[in-house]
């Protein structure tokens, strides 16, 4: 498969392989960055093959390890969706998520994960950026150069068959990455898989928006889904029809 799961934190990190090039997605912790470096070392892959790192949205558990990755792969470009540009330049603050949703939406996801002590340790050792809390939501301290250039339905650099799809709801800047040739969806925190058959994320800034985003994804032919949290779902015909929306 052209998508490789790197597990080192609460969120999933993915490596996409395409024509000898690699793109990292959702590097949420410094440990995920080190595991990617180990992945390359064990397979004798030239580190220059990692051309880019990106994220499905700008939350700490999906971008907290990018500084560590850039230190290990200094030639790698950091490219975000154009939706992130206003966060980076300080024009817009991260969207807040209500306290009730933190308890009812996020807590069940965290409790379903394993290795809580390790995951928490990895998070503490990573960039403390992009947390949707009133005091911390604009604490965007990092030392790498960013390019907010990825646009909806436009080709993604180094990934010949992939496009970006806007899926606001979990956050206003949430996106999915879709492989049109192999019908693969990297869903970020729009669709999770904590129950075994996939579900729409309840931990979101705008639940009506995330439902609209899900409906926009329904017409796509998807055989494999790589969620932000939970195990991938692969080689399943009619996969989207089985996703729980409530």
Q: Compute CA distances 228 → 47, 143, 176, 206, 218, whole Å.
A: 25, 25, 10, 18, 18
Number of helices (H), then strands (E), in the chain: 8, 13
**Residue at token pair 């040739």:** 181
* pLDDT score for 1: 59
Domain carrying residue 189: 3-242
**Contact indicator for 26, 62 with CB cutoff of 8 Å:** yes
Check residue 198 and give left, alpha or beta (phi > 0: left; psi -120 to 50: alpha). left
* pLDDT score for 8: 87
* pLDDT score for 140: 66
Nearby residues of 100 by Cβ (< 8 Å), 6 or more positions away: none
* pLDDT score for 136: 56
* pLDDT score for 54: 98
Beta strands in 55-94 (DSSP E): 77-81
* pLDDT score for 123: 64
**Contact indicator for 59, 189 with CB cutoff of 8 Å:** yes
Residues in the chain: 246
Give the residues of the chain that fall short of pLDDT 70: 1, 106-107, 110-126, 128, 130, 132-141, 246
* pLDDT score for 239: 84
User: Cα(141)–Cα(71) distance, rounded to whole angstroms?
Assistant: 15
* pLDDT score for 233: 94
* pLDDT score for 88: 85
**Closest to 24 in 3D by CA, of 69, 74, 83:** 69
* pLDDT score for 166: 97
Give the CATH number of the domain where residue 126 resides.
Answer: 3.60.15.10
**Closest to 9 in 3D by CA, of 103, 109, 143, 145:** 109
Number of domains in the chain: 1
* β-pair partners for 131: none
* pLDDT score for 120: 62
Write out pLDDT tens, residues 79-119. 999 999 988 888 888 887 877 777 777 667 766 666 655 66
């Amino acid at each position: 498969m052209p998508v490789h799961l790197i597990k080192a934190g609460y969120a999933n990190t993915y490596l996409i392989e395409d024509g000898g090039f690699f793109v990292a997605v959702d590097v949420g912790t410094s440990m995920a960055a080190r595991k990617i470096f180990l992945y390359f070392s064990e397979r004798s892959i030239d580190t220059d093959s990692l051309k880019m790192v990106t994220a499905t949205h700008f939350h700490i558990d999906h971008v907290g390890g990018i500084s560590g990755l850039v230190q290990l792969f200094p030639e790698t470009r950091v490219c975000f969706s154009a939706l992130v540009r206003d966060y980076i330049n300080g024009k817009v603050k991260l969207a807040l998520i209500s306290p009730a949703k933190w308890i009812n939406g996020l807590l069940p996801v965290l409790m379903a994960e394993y290795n809580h002590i390790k995951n928490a340790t990895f998070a503490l050792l990573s960039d403390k950026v992009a947390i949707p809390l009133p005091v911390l939501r604009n604490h965007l301290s990092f030392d790498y150069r960013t390019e907010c250039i990825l646009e909806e339905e436009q080709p993604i650099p180094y990934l010949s068959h992939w496009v970006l799809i806007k899926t606001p709801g979990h956050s206003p800047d949430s996106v999915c990455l879709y492989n049109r040739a192999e019908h693969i969806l990297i869903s970020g925190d729009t669709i999770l898989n904590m129950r075994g058959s996939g579900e729409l994320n309840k931990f979101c800034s705008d639940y009506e928006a995330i439902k609209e985003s899900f409906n926009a994804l329904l017409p796509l032919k998807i055989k494999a889904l790589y969620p932000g949290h939970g195990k991938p779902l692969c080689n399943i015909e009619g996969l989207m029809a089985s996703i729980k929306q409530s």
